[in-house]
Structure 1
């Protein structure tokens, strides 16, 4: 059997070789940047790796938060809602550096997983109990119709299959809430503002409102609003804060 002629070597143009080299260098740089980000994530604001004392300090702060939460539970509750209002709007105003895990869990159950997120809730003793536990981290009050409407129209998103979906089409609303007679944005506004019979279904349908950091109105204080701080019940004054964050 005759020997086959050797196959000629495949010629690779120089421009392709240069491109390969550039891609390899880019991949190497990306890997170095990733390693650098991982290293920086272990550092604090001053650029130093956390010392054991700092971990101890954070642990003690979280435990202190838990003790304070238990004290707030024992404290005599003040009246939450005047007879004129059945609706409250709750805004998370603090982070989680010194927060006990149980406090964080309660905030998540309220739908407040992020700082400057907000939710509507029905004003009753049940919600008061939750708010009392997380009081330093939230502020709340009685939104007026204007702010209910503007929040829904400006910041309203649907929660469908755990996804954040913009409310750009009334068909989305009709598909999810049509069986309750809620067909459009104004129906949602009406149901929330009046705490209607399908209030719970509407709130479950809406994604928590993601608000803007206000230029003014918050001082970074965990003390109560009525004592000169940021937290707790603002009653009708919540509308000024909503205006600044919407």
Structure 2
């Protein structure tokens, strides 16, 4: 019986071989990218934990110092005034029916376009003048760390490429503010609370908070808070209102 000759090798077109090689390289690249993301995520978690510990320590020292300042001021003046703060939380409580165009323009400038919108701003000469003009339509004060954190966690929405995106994942914050060293919720809270060097970028990223009407409503909206109304500066007591509206 004659032996069978070996069959010739099957011809594979060069384009097919090139495609196979490209696919193999693509698989290798995806694997490397996945490993890099995994490593970066692990490193970020470690960094977030270290920063959270550092921030907690800083907040405790700030609270102790704030308490010391208040106590000293009470001893000197025997008053209940709150030391001036650079950070304010402002919320709109008045409508537009009888509003002057200039007042409406300032409210829009402060991003308070709708009723019960709230924003963080820096207290300075310019913002103090703006608040004076719109005072019958807003109330504001000095937010504490608890209020800042709860607002961002419960109501926080960021803006990326003109889209409103709820802050459900730290990657959203890292994408928008990572170049400023802000990669997670703890970083964002710290930047706002401490009025950091990138406060403007952080506050611009944060969209106005949509709050709800407080339980029991607002009785005397245009009357100043110090006179028994709701408008104007309520200093530390803004935190009580935030709890009711959050």
Pairing 1:198-217 to 2, within 5 Å after superposition: 198-216=198-216
In structure 1, the gaps of 5 or more residues are: 1-80
Pairing 1:105-184 to 2, within 5 Å after superposition: 105-184=105-184
Q: Deviations over 1:121-145 (max 9, x none)?
A: 1111111010001010000000110
1:193 to 2:197 alignment: no
Q: What is aligned with 2:48?
A: none
Q: Distance in 2 between matches of 1:167 and 1:213?
A: 23
Asked whether the 8 Å contact 2:137–2:221 carries over to 1, the reply is no
Where do 4+ consecutive residues of structure 1 move more than 6 Å?
none
TM-score (structure 2 length as normaliser) = 0.65
Query: Is the alpha carbon distance of 1:220 and 1:164 closer, same or farther for their aligned partners in structure 2, counting shifts above 3 Å?
Result: farther
Q: Distance in 2 between matches of 1:217 and 1:84?
A: 28
Q: Partner of 1:237: helix, strand, or coil? A: helix
TM-score (structure 1 length as normaliser) = 0.65
Aligned residues: 166
Higher helix fraction: Structure 1 or Structure 2?
Answer: 2
In structure 2, the gaps of 5 or more residues are: 1-80
Q: Distance in 1 between matches of 2:192 and 2:136?
A: 26
Q: Partner of 1:165: helix, strand, or coil? A: strand
Q: Distance in 2 between matches of 1:169 and 1:231?
A: 35
Q: CA deviation at 1:83?
A: 4.4
Q: CA deviation at 1:165?
A: 1.1
1:85 to 2:106 alignment: no
Q: Partner of 1:108: helix, strand, or coil? A: helix
